[in-house]
Amino acid sequence: MFLDVNSAVDVTATETADVVGPIGAVVGAVVAALVLATIISAVVRTAARRSNLAMDLLAKVRRPLRAVLVIIAVWIALRLSTETSHWTLIAEHLLLILLIAAAAWLIGALAFVVEDAALSRFRMDVPDNARARRVRTQITVLRRLTVAILAICAIAGILMTFPDARAAGTSLFASAGVLTIVAGLAAQSSLANVFAGLQLAFTDAIRVDDVVIVEQEWGRIEEITMTYVVVHLWDDRRLIVPSTHFTTTPFQNWTRRDANLLGTVELDLDWEVPVEAMRAELTRLLAVSDLWDNRVGVLQVTEATGGFVQVRALASAVDAPTLFDLRCYVREGLVEWVQRTAPQSLPRTRIEGSSPVVSAASPAAQPALPDGDLARAVGQAPATVAVPREPTPPVEPEPPVRTRRLAPADPSLQREPSEGSNQPDQPRPPAASPAAASAEPPTRRTTRRTPGPDDTVQFTMRTDSRLFTGSLDAVERAQAFAGPGPEVLAEREHTAERALAEPEPTDTTETPRH
C-alpha cells in the first residue's frame, strides 16, 4: 500500500514537473528577451543621442524587435524544456506563424525608417520644394507598395507552413500558365490602376499640390496612391479619381511648368457701347487693383452678331486663385461703369415696323390724273367736271422735345420759377400756326454741363467680395490652390528645356551595300 502511494506521488510530481518546468522556462525566456531588448534600446539611445535617424529607428523598431525576441526566446525555451509531443508540435507551429508576422512587421518598420529619413532631407515648407514634392510623391507610392508586398509575402509564408496549403501551392505553380491568365483577366482593372499609379509617381505627370482640372472640376492634387488620386476641390470637396484616368484621359495641369494664367470677362452689350471709353475704364480698374500682375490687360470686341456686341476683357494673374478674384473684380467694375456712365450700352432688342402693302386693285393704288385728262377720259369739258379730293389733314405742331434728366441733378441747370408761375391764369405765349410749324421745323437743343466736384466716383475695395484674397481664411485657401512656388516652376522649365536640347540618338550602324 505504501508502495502504491509512493508511486502515485512520484507520478504526480513528475507530471507537475513536466508542466511547471516548461512554464518556468517560457517565463524566464520572456523576461530574458525583454531585458535584452531594453539593453539594446538603451545602448542605441546612448550611442546615437544626437542622431535623429537613430532616434527614429529606435522609436519605430522597439515594439517589433521585442516581439521577435520574445517569440524566439519562447521557442528556444520550449524546445529545451520539453520532449517532442503532439501539443509541442502545435505550439511550435503557432510560434512559427507569429514569428513570420513579427518579422514582416520588423521589416516594414525598417522600411518606414528609411523612407522617413529620405523625406526628412527635403523640406516641404520652403518655396523651392520641387524635388521634395517629387520625392514625396514617389516615396508615398513606394511605401504603399512595400506594405502590399510584405503583406502578400507574410500571408504566403504563413500558408506555406500548412501541408495542405503547401500541396496546393505546388499544384498552383505547376499550372501557373492557365491560372495566371485567368487571374490576370480577373484582376485586370486593379492591376491597371496599380501600374498607372506607379507610372504617375515616376513619370512626373502630376505631383502633389499641382492645380488641375479633372472632370470639369478645379482642384489640387492632395494625395497619390497606388490605385487612385485624391483631388481637393476648391469648395473643400474631395474627388477620388482612378489612376488610370490620368494615363488614359486628357486633363488640365495648370501648374505643370508655370502658374501664371490669363482670364476672360465677357459682356453682351448694345451697338452703342463706347469701346474706347470702356477700354480706358478697364485700364483704370487694373491699375488700382492689387490682384493684377501687370502682364496682360486687353479689351476687345470678339463678336458682333445676333443684335449684340460681345466685349471681352482679358487680364492676367500670378495664379489661379488670384485670377478668380480678379475676374470677379473686373466684371463688377465694368457692370457698374456701364450702369453709371453708358446706360445706352445696355443690351436691347430693336423692332422696326414696315409700311402696309397696298394691292393694285384698290382705288388708292390708281394713279392720279390731271383735271384735263380726267375730263377727256369721261367725255366732258374740263370746266364742268368737279373732281372730289380727299381732305388734307391739318398739320399739328410737333410735341416739345423731352430732354433726359441728368443724374445727379445740378442746381445750376434748374430754372428758378418766376413770380406768379404757380398762378393758373398765367398768360401763355401764342402757339405757332401750322404754316409756321411746317416752314420752320423745331430744333432740338441739348444741354451740356461741366462735371462738378460732386460727380467724382469713389471706389471702395471690399474684401468680402473676394474668395481667395482679403482675409486670413482666403489667403490660406489661396495658398492651398496656388500650386508650387516659382522656384519649382523654374526647375520644371529648366528640366523641360534641357530635355528638348538633348540630341536624339542616331543610328550609327551602316547599311550593307549590295
CATH number at residue 281: 3.30.70.100
Q: Over the stretch 215-231, which tens digit does the pLDDT of each residue have?
A: 999 999 988 887 889 99
* Residue 301 DSSP one-character state: E
Query: Whole domain around residue 217: which residue ranges?
Result: 154-253
Question: Higher-confidence residue: 263 or 42?
Answer: 263
65-70: average pLDDT: 87
Per-range mean pLDDT, top range of 34-38, 227-231, 295-299, 336-340: 336-340
* Model confidence at 116: pLDDT above 70: yes
As a whole number of angstroms, the distance between CA 284 and CA 165 comes to 79
Which pLDDT band, with edges at 50, 70 and 90, does 10 fall under?
A: low
Q: So what's the pLDDT on residue 310? A: 94
Q: So what's the pLDDT on residue 277? A: 94
* Model confidence at 238: pLDDT above 70: yes
One domain for residues 3 and 107:
yes
224-241: average pLDDT: 90
Query: Within a domain: residue 424?
Result: no
Query: Within a domain: residue 409?
Result: no
364-374: average pLDDT: 52
State pTM to two decimals.
0.50
One domain for residues 285 and 303:
yes
Share of the chain above pLDDT 90, in %: 19
The strand pairing partners of 310, in sequence order, are 268, 303
* Residue 255 DSSP one-character state: T
Query: Within a domain: residue 367?
Result: no
As a whole number of angstroms, the distance between CA 182 and CA 434 comes to 103
Cell 493684377, residue located: 292
Q: So what's the pLDDT on residue 140? A: 78
As a whole number of angstroms, the distance between CA 113 and CA 101 comes to 19
Query: Within a domain: residue 243?
Result: yes
Number of residues in the chain: 514
Q: Give the residue from 232, 253, 274 where a domain finishes.
A: 253
**Sequence-ordered alpha helix ranges (H) in 48-129:** 52-81, 86-120
Lowest mean pLDDT among 18-32, 107-121, 139-153, 215-229: 18-32
* Model confidence at 424: pLDDT above 70: no
Query: Within a domain: residue 422?
Result: no
Per-range mean pLDDT, top range of 102-116, 139-153, 230-244, 350-364: 230-244
One domain for residues 295 and 245:
no
One domain for residues 6 and 73:
yes
One domain for residues 13 and 69:
yes
Q: Give the residue from 253, 269, 292 where a domain finishes.
A: 253
355-373: average pLDDT: 57
Furthest CA-CA distance within the chain = 182
One domain for residues 278 and 248:
no
Share of the chain above pLDDT 70, in %: 63
Query: Within a domain: residue 423?
Result: no
Lowest mean pLDDT among 178-182, 267-271, 342-346: 178-182
One domain for residues 184 and 95:
no
424-438: average pLDDT: 41
One domain for residues 227 and 290:
no
Q: Over the stretch 128-160, which tens digit does the pLDDT of each residue have?
A: 566 677 777 778 778 888 888 888 888 888 888
- The count of other CB atoms within 10 Å of the CB of residue 219 is 24
The dihedrals phi and psi of 221, each to the nearest 5 degrees, come to -75, 115
Q: Give the residue from 345, 370, 393 where a domain finishes.
A: 345
Which pLDDT band, with edges at 50, 70 and 90, does 360 fall under?
A: low
* Residue 50 DSSP one-character state: T
The strand pairing partners of 232, in sequence order, are 220, 238
Return the SS3 of 314. strand
* Residue 308 DSSP one-character state: -
One domain for residues 5 and 98:
yes
8 A C-beta contact, residue 331 and residue 312: no
Strand order in the sheet with 228-233: 238-242, 228-233, 217-224, 211-214, 252-253
Total domains present in the chain = 3
Could you tell me the CATH number of the domain that includes residue 225?
Answer: 2.30.30.60
Quick one: cell of 474?
Answer: 482666403
Average pLDDT over all residues of the chain:
72
91-110: average pLDDT: 89
Q: So what's the pLDDT on residue 130? A: 62
* Model confidence at 439: pLDDT above 70: no
* Model confidence at 455: pLDDT above 80: no
* Residue 502 DSSP one-character state: S
Which pLDDT band, with edges at 50, 70 and 90, does 368 fall under?
A: low
What is the rounded radius of gyration, in angstroms, for the C-alpha atoms of the chain?
A: 47
Which pLDDT band, with edges at 50, 70 and 90, does 28 fall under?
A: confident
Question: Higher-confidence residue: 500 or 422?
Answer: 500
Q: Helix %, strand %, coil % for the chain, to 5?
A: 55, 10, 35
Query: Within a domain: residue 499?
Result: no
85-107: average pLDDT: 86
Q: So what's the pLDDT on residue 112? A: 86
Q: Measured between alpha carbons, how far is residue 427 from residues 90, 398, 416, 422, 430 in Å? A: 129, 21, 18, 12, 9
One domain for residues 117 and 5:
yes
Query: Within a domain: residue 207?
Result: yes
Q: Over the stretch 197-210, which tens digit does the pLDDT of each residue have?
A: 888 877 778 888 88
One domain for residues 2 and 99:
yes
One domain for residues 166 and 112:
no
